[in-house]
């Protein structure tokens, strides 16, 4: 006899669930989504106890219940950001949702939702001409030596640094005769007639930490450390999970920082350097 995945009672031979239990589970998840979303359109304001009771009666584990509540926060945040900005009222209602349903920073940081909200707030203040300020609480020491009047704005960890490298090879042919002048040594009388072929590759360099301040972007790792003044950056290329930067200089190589919020980095650097 198998046990039902939901109610844990006997499901019968070769069965893993009761259809009615599965239906109750799916309906419960959908009802929690609807009721938690109603907080944002104010069609109905429910208490967390009511939603917890729905979860209990629908065989929904508490970790899944938390995930539903977190996803509601994230979905509405992304909806607010559809126009590219997060205004004061939108940020306030997200904060009220957190407080009303007792969501912690740790819960919302699982998928970086809280971080995305704070970064959107930083951009809004920057665009409004307000001074940039630190919204982070750092535990431990950072490997960066900031300049006077320089303030940390955001920190990304586990960032992969890539650099563009150009490799030159020669393709072509030669003709003429080879004269043997010693054992195993030949000298070809004609010159090599070929042309250089350059290939560009993005190669991994190091993994470390990226800090954005009000003046520079910093990178620190065990093998490579540097900072770039924003005014020295001549190109910016945003990606879904990173950003590409080329700084001024004849020998400067394009660099890509992977595992950062490309949307935030692009807009922050572009606007703070103007």
| pLDDT score of 271 | 92
* Cα separation, 212 vs 236, whole angstroms: 15
pTM summary value: 0.80
Domain positions in the chain are: 15-127, 152-171+199-272
| pLDDT score of 164 | 85
| pLDDT score of 197 | 66
* Cα separation, 221 vs 257, whole angstroms: 13
Q: Which two tokens stand for residue 58?
A: 């629908």
* Cα separation, 216 vs 70, whole angstroms: 33
CATH class of 152-171+199-272: mainly beta
Choose among 119, 191, 204: nearest CA to 161. 204
Residue found by looking up tokens 């301040």 in the block? 213
Q: Which two tokens stand for residue 2?
A: 């198998």
What is the full per-residue pLDDT of the chain (274 aa) written as tens digits? 688 989 988 888 778 889 999 999 999 999 999 999 999 988 888 999 999 999 999 999 999 999 999 999 999 999 999 888 899 999 999 999 999 999 999 999 888 999 999 999 999 999 888 877 777 777 778 999 999 889 999 999 999 999 987 766 666 555 555 545 455 554 444 444 556 666 678 899 999 999 999 999 999 999 999 999 999 999 999 998 999 999 998 778 899 999 999 999 999 999 998 7
**What are 107-142's pLDDT values in tens digits?**
998 889 999 999 999 999 998 888 777 777 777 789
* Cα separation, 171 vs 169, whole angstroms: 7
| Number of residues assigned to the chain | 274
**What are 152-172's pLDDT values in tens digits?**
999 999 999 999 877 666 665
| pLDDT score of 17 | 87
Choose among 215, 206, 89: nearest CA to 152. 215
Q: Is 148 helix (H, G, I), strand (E, B) or coil?
A: coil
Contact 244, 236 (CB under 8 A): yes
β-bridge pairing 185-188 and 192-213: unpaired
Contact 36, 69 (CB under 8 A): yes
């Amino acid at each position: 006899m198998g046990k039902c995945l939901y109610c844990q009672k006997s499901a019968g031979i070769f069965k893993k669930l009761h259809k009615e239990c599965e239906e109750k589970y799916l309906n419960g998840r959908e009802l929690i989504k609807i009721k938690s979303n109603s907080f944002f359109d104010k069609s109905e304001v429910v208490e967390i106890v009511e939603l917890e009771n729905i979860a209990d009666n629908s065989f929904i584990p508490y970790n899944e219940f938390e995930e539903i509540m977190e996803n509601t926060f994230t979905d509405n945040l992304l909806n607010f950001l559809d126009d590219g900005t997060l205004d004061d009222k939108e940020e306030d209602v997200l904060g009220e949702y957190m407080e009303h349903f007792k969501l912690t920073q740790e819960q919302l940081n699982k998928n970086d939702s809280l971080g995305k909200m704070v970064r959107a707030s930083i951009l809004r203040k920057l665009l409004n001409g307000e001074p940039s300020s630190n919204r982070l609480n750092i535990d431990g020491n950072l490997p960066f030596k900031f300049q006077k009047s320089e303030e940390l704005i955001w920190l990304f960890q586990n960032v992969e640094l890539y650099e563009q490298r150009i490799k030159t090879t020669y393709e072509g042919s030669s003709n003429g005769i080879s004269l043997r002048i010693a054992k195993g040594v030949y000298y070809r009388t004609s010159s090599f007639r070929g042309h250089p072929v350059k290939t560009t590759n993005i190669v991994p360099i190091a993994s470390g930490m990226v800090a954005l301040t009000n003046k520079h972007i910093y990178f620190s790792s065990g093998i490579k450390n540097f900072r770039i003044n924003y005014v020295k950056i001549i190109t910016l290329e945003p990606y879904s999970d990173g950003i590409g930067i080329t700084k001024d200089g004849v020998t400067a190589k394009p660099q890509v920082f992977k595992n950062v919020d490309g949307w935030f980095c692009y807009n922050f650097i572009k606007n703070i350097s103007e």
